[in-house]
Amino acid sequence: MEKADLEEELEKRRLELKELKLKYDKLLIEKGSNSIYINEQILKELKEDLFQKEKEYLAYKALYEEGAESKNSFEIKEREYCTAKLDYENKKIELEMEMDTKKKDIEIIKVNIEKKELEIKELERKIEKCVVFAMSDGIIKEINFKMGMVLNYTMPVYILDDISKGFELKVAMDNEQCQYIKLGDEVRVSIKNKGKSLVSGEVRAIKDNKDDIDSKIVTIELEEADLIGGEIGEFYLGKKIGSYDYLVPRSAVYQNSEGKYVFVLQEKDGPLGKDYYVIKQKVTTGDSDNNFTGIYSGLLGNEKVVIYSNKNLSNGCQVRLER
């Protein structure tokens, strides 16, 4: 049943319970009413009358047996006694039945009240199940069920961002970029929805992106800020690098199973002028950023390092220079 139907049924049960309680109160009043008191008084009077009639009957019986009273007088007293006894016994049975009936009626009402209270509790439990309460304040990020759907306990009803635990920024970055960040790096985050206000943050997780094998999801924990959730942001990370002999563009550095290397340009005199070749030169690299890589060793400083080629290069291959 829908929540509205359950609430309507609950209201109906509450009215029925109220009606039962009124009947119960009425029966209690009737149990102690004047009618019962009057009947009890009548029974008491009948008992006294029976006692008197019995005394007279026994006295006349004794006199009749002694011949002091006539048979007719004795039989009159005997009939009076029997009538008084019958009246008393009938009234007693009537009163007991009345009391017993009222007692049973009261017990039946009590049972019906208890049943109705259980029905109400069951309806309240069902209504409570119709409403999902969050364990904390926050922002609903996702709802997996629509009105009227049966809950599937293999998935959450909703996903809630708990704002009491702070905020975080999740960014998808390609694997190459992720080489230059590590856990604990401090960053500055620009919140676009807040006029590009800056918030400090720290890299807390770097995980594979299940939707893209060529990228990772970087999670940045933000310091306290005036946020509500759902804002768009981007982060900046600058790193200081050590002192290197040379800096070359990252595009100039290659890597194979033997290590890292660059291609340097050599020129030779040919029959038609100068010819140009590239030679593979092993290097030892240091830190990198998005643009440059530091070189510790492998270069003398007077080499011409190839930073761009429109075709694949190999050691000793001839090349042409772009003009």
> 116 and 41: one domain?
yes
Q: Which of 130, 152, 179 is the last residue of a domain?
A: 130
Q: Does residue 149 belong to any structural domain of this protein?
A: no
Same domain, 52 and 118: yes
Q: pTM of the predicted model, to two decimals?
A: 0.39
* CATH number of the structural domain spanning residue 308: 2.40.420
Q: How many domains does the chain have?
A: 3
- Please tell me whether residues 105 and 18 are part of one structural domain: yes
Range of the domain at 294: 246-319
Whether 159 is in a domain gets the answer: no
Q: Are 278 and 193 in a shared domain? A: no
Considering the domain architecture, whether residues 22 and 87 belong to the same structural domain is answered as yes
CA distance 318 to 253: 19
How many angstroms separate the CA atoms of 91 and 39, rounded? 8
Give the C-alpha separation, 90 to 92, whole Å: 5
Tell me, yes or no, whether 150 lies in a domain: no
With residue 285 as reference, give the H or E element that holds it: strand 284-288
CATH number of residue 178's parent domain: 2.40.30.170
Mind listing the pLDDT tens digit of every residue in the chain (323 residues)? 577 788 888 899 999 999 999 988 888 877 666 666 777 788 888 889 889 999 998 998 899 888 888 889 889 989 999 999 999 898 888 878 877 888 888 899 999 999 999 999 998 888 877 666 666 666 776 777 676 666 666 777 777 776 667 778 888 888 877 777 888 888 888 887 666 678 888 888 999 988 888 889 999 888 766 776 777 877 777 666 567 778 889 889 999 999 999 999 999 887 888 899 999 999 998 887 778 888 888 888 888 999 988 889 999 999 988 76
Q: Based on the domain organization, do 231 and 196 belong to the same domain?
A: yes
Q: Judge whether 157 lies within some domain.
A: no
Please indicate, yes or no, whether residues 54 and 113 belong to a single structural domain of this protein.
yes
Is 102 in the same domain as 215? no
Query: Do residue 34 and residue 109 come from a single domain?
Result: yes
**Is position 275 within any domain?**
yes
Q: SS3 letters for 100-115?
A: HHHHHHHHHHHHHHHH
271 shares a domain with 230: no
| Cα 238–Cα 241–Cα 246 angle in degrees, nearest 5 | 125
Q: Give the separation between CA 269 and CA 261, rounded to whole angstroms.
A: 26
